[in-house]
Amino acid sequence: MNWQMLQFDWAKARAFFATAETGSLSGAARALNLAQPTVGRQVEALEQELDVVLFERIGKKLLLTPAGLDLLEHVRTMGEAAQRISLIASGHSQTLDGPIRISAGEAVSAFLLPPILRRIRTEHPEIEITIIATGTQSDLQMREADIAIRNAQPTQNDLIARRTPDRMAGLYAKTTYLEEIGHDLAKADFIGFEGSQNMAAALTERGFAISADQFRILSEAHLVQWAYVKNGMGIGLMMNEVANADPEISRVAPDFEPAVPMWVLAHREVKTSRRVRVVYDLIVEALS
Amino acid sequence: MNWQMLQFDWAKARAFFATAETGSLSGAARALNLAQPTVGRQVEALEQELDVVLFERIGKKLLLTPAGLDLLEHVRTMGEAAQRISLIASGHSQTLDGPIRISAGEAVSAFLLPPILRRIRTEHPEIEITIIATGTQSDLQMREADIAIRNAQPTQNDLIARRTPDRMAGLYAKTTYLEEIGHDLAKADFIGFEGSQNMAAALTERGFAISADQFRILSEAHLVQWAYVKNGMGIGLMMNEVANADPEISRVAPDFEPAVPMWVLAHREVKTSRRVRVVYDLIVEALS
DNA sequence: GAACATTTATGCATTTATGCATGAATTGGC
DNA sequence: GCCAATTCATGCATAAATGCATAAATGTTC
């Protein structure tokens, strides 16, 4: 075996990769948790080491040279391999002590997870939990989270998925609001996600004549929607168990009760980690 | 894009790779031009960083754990990508100043290359040439050399190959030796490569009754063979132009004149390097 | 079983790399 | 066209990694 190929510093390749991907030294520095001058010097050193100009310094902008473009392709495969390494390594970790990241929607994060986290906190205080309550479904493949709770069956087949009993949801509003509009749903404002106007059709099917333009407040942030509902500004969707816990909130159109499927997901590789397994099992148990 | 995957130090992955491949920290240190304690600490740091035990320290031997085995696979793809990077980077290098490695057989290295190298030396003194005169054909793929001179058509299709006129070879011996044995080839000792006894068959076809056991001195080192010939210890094979230059050497069996094909090879990627191109063209020109 | 050759681990001086603070140049928005 | 926000480059103090020398342990060979 020849080792010439290993002569150049892989850390510098990483700096180059991040710089090319983010488009700037500063961006790369943020991504790598390094200082900007460090990344700059590493890239510069790589250029000297490989005797190749990677970036064209035109003004403050960095533009990849043809050579840099050629190399980027292969550095990217290095990066993909590195990604798998960190993934698989996590799976082999058998220490309970350490961080774990859970991704879930806002409502789940705010209302369902707290008791579960409290239990984990008492039973395994050495586990450091981070909640990623992003609206967009975070990518387990890209390792933004170790465990994800989603409302749809996953399509990726390298994920371990466990379905827990469906949550039931319904339309809710503040009791005083309903009295205001005389319980006439035709007069009501609706609060929903962007694109949820087609829910109007589903309601019309059930005998409620709701038009799409009654959806006046649209937000991707479920908790924001709920805040509007609790402020008596309209009718919104919420899981029953959450809404029922609030005495000022009343149900609207009880026949309309969509089921919210719940899937607890983890990477096949990462699931073998003891820490992930413990948390995963606890979440599944608590949600069942 | 998520950058978690880039968090761990790629340089440590390299140390792990080299250690796993060579089987020891010392070996990896030699391969990477590092000190042995450095490699040891890097591997140790990687284990902490990934929270995984990579090697089982059984006495002085390092044994890969299952986790290490799992990770090695992906570190290897990192290494292969790194190899391509250094390869392609060389191809993009446009500076004449720098090292270049030429691989050739012993006879070619000793007799054909010197005038060529002298010319390169005068025309481009900034190029540092290294000759790898290994018997085994060095692997251009593995980048042991930038340019190779071989005697067979290459099979790899990612190599640039240029055939130069065949060299003619023949059997030679010291003149005094031939007188000693009365020019009777049946009494002569033959000197050849291991496995070249089947040359006896080729000679017999041409009317020389040579038996395989007349090959008494076998060596993979062509120059060693030639030294024996020049010492009057037997008959050996040599390129005509080399043998003819020696007044003490006479030809044996002039009808037997095998052609030695000559191929000048370089990587497709590397050939685009100005330095390689210059040397390559000079070699091809000089051999033509 | 003893001598030898290799291997890994440790302590310490030195080199090297990194981060921070700052300045200069450029871009983008209003 | 100006202001604010980024961006990259430089100098310097500090932190970190590296190499060397050496010890300890193990495998090998005669």
- Residue-wise pLDDT for A78-96, tens only, equals 999 998 898 899 888 888 9
Share of chain A above pLDDT 90, in %: 51
Q: Which two tokens stand for residue B236?
A: 């050996």
In a domain, A113, yes or no: yes
Q: Does residue B43 sit in the same domain as residue B186? A: no
Question: What domain count does chain B have?
Answer: 2
Asked whether residue A175 is assigned to any structural domain, the reply reads yes
Tens of pLDDT, residues B74-108? 999 999 999 889 888 888 888 888 889 898 988 99
With 60 as the cut, is the pLDDT of residue A135 above it? no
Residue B151 CA distance to nucleotide C11 C1' (Å)? 54
Interface check for A11 against chain B (CB to CB < 8 A): the answer is: yes
Q: Which of B30, B61, B92 is the last residue of a domain?
A: B92
pLDDT at B268: 87
Asked if B144 and B201 sit in the same domain, the reply is yes
Say if A49 falls within a structural domain.
yes
Say yes or no: A251 and A265 in one domain: no
> Hunting for tokens 């499927």 — which residue is that?
A261
Closest CA–CA distance from residue A3 to any residue of chain B (Å):
6
B-chain CB neighbours of A87 within 8 Å are 5
Residue B58 has phi, psi (to 5 degrees) of: -95, 100
CATH code, domain with A86: 1.10.10.10
Rounded Cα–Cα distance for residues B62 and B18 (Å): 13
Round to whole Å and give the CA distance between B152 and A5: 26
What is d(CA B190, CA B235) in angstroms, rounded to the nearest whole number?
Answer: 5
> Same domain for B223 and B118?
yes
End position of a domain, from candidates A31, A63, A92: A92
Residues 11-40 of B with CB under 7 A from strand D: 11, 33-35, 37-38
- Does any domain span residue A1? no
Q: What is d(CA B226, CA B236) in angstroms, rounded to the nearest whole number?
A: 7
Same domain as A220, residue A268: no
Say if residue B147 is in the same domain as residue B256: yes
Residue A130 at interface with chain B, using a CB cutoff of 8 Å:
no
**Distance from B101 to chain A by nearest Cα, in Å?**
12
Distance CA A217, CA A228 (A): 9
Q: How far apart are CA B190 and CA B213, in angstroms?
A: 9
pLDDT of residue B99: 86
**Is the domain of A251 the same as that of A209?**
yes
Same domain (yes/no): B275, B152: yes
CATH for A160: 3.40.190.10
Q: Domain range for residue A177?
A: 167-258
Q: Give yes or no: residues A122 and A265 share one domain.
A: yes
pLDDT for res B108 = 92
Q: Residue A283: name the closest of A143, A156, A125, A103 by CA.
A: A103
Nearest nt to B35, CA vs C1'? D19
Q: Where are the beta strands (DSSP E) in B122-183?
A: 127-132, 147-150, 159-174
* A21 close contact with B: CB closer than 8 A: yes
List the pLDDT tens digit at each of the 288 positions of chain B: 566 656 789 999 999 999 998 888 998 998 899 999 999 999 999 998 898 989 887 666 778 888 889 999 999 999 999 988 988 888 888 888 888 989 898 899 999 999 999 999 999 999 989 888 875 565 676 677 889 998 888 877 788 899 999 999 999 999 999 999 999 888 899 998 877 777 888 888 877 878 888 888 888 888 989 999 999 999 999 999 999 999 999 999 888 888 999 999 998 888 889 999 999 999 999 998
User: Do B107 and B199 fall within a single domain?
Assistant: yes
Q: CA of B261, closest CA in chain A: separation in Å?
A: 27
B105 and B198 in one domain?
A: yes
Residues 57-96 of A with CB under 8 A from B: 66-67, 70-71, 74-75, 77-79, 81-90, 92-93, 95
Q: Is residue A219 part of a domain?
A: yes
Cβ neighbors of A266 (< 8 A, separation 6 or more) are: A140, A146, A147, A148, A159, A160, A276, A280
Among residues B92, B113, B128, the one where a domain terminates is B92
Mutation target to probe the B interface, by most B beta carbons within 10 A, among A10, A127, A138 is A10
Write out which nucleotides of chain D lie closer than 7 A to a protein Cβ: 6-11, 17-21, 25-27
Residues A106 and A45 occupy one common structural domain: no
Alpha carbon distance, N-terminus to C-terminus of chain A? 54
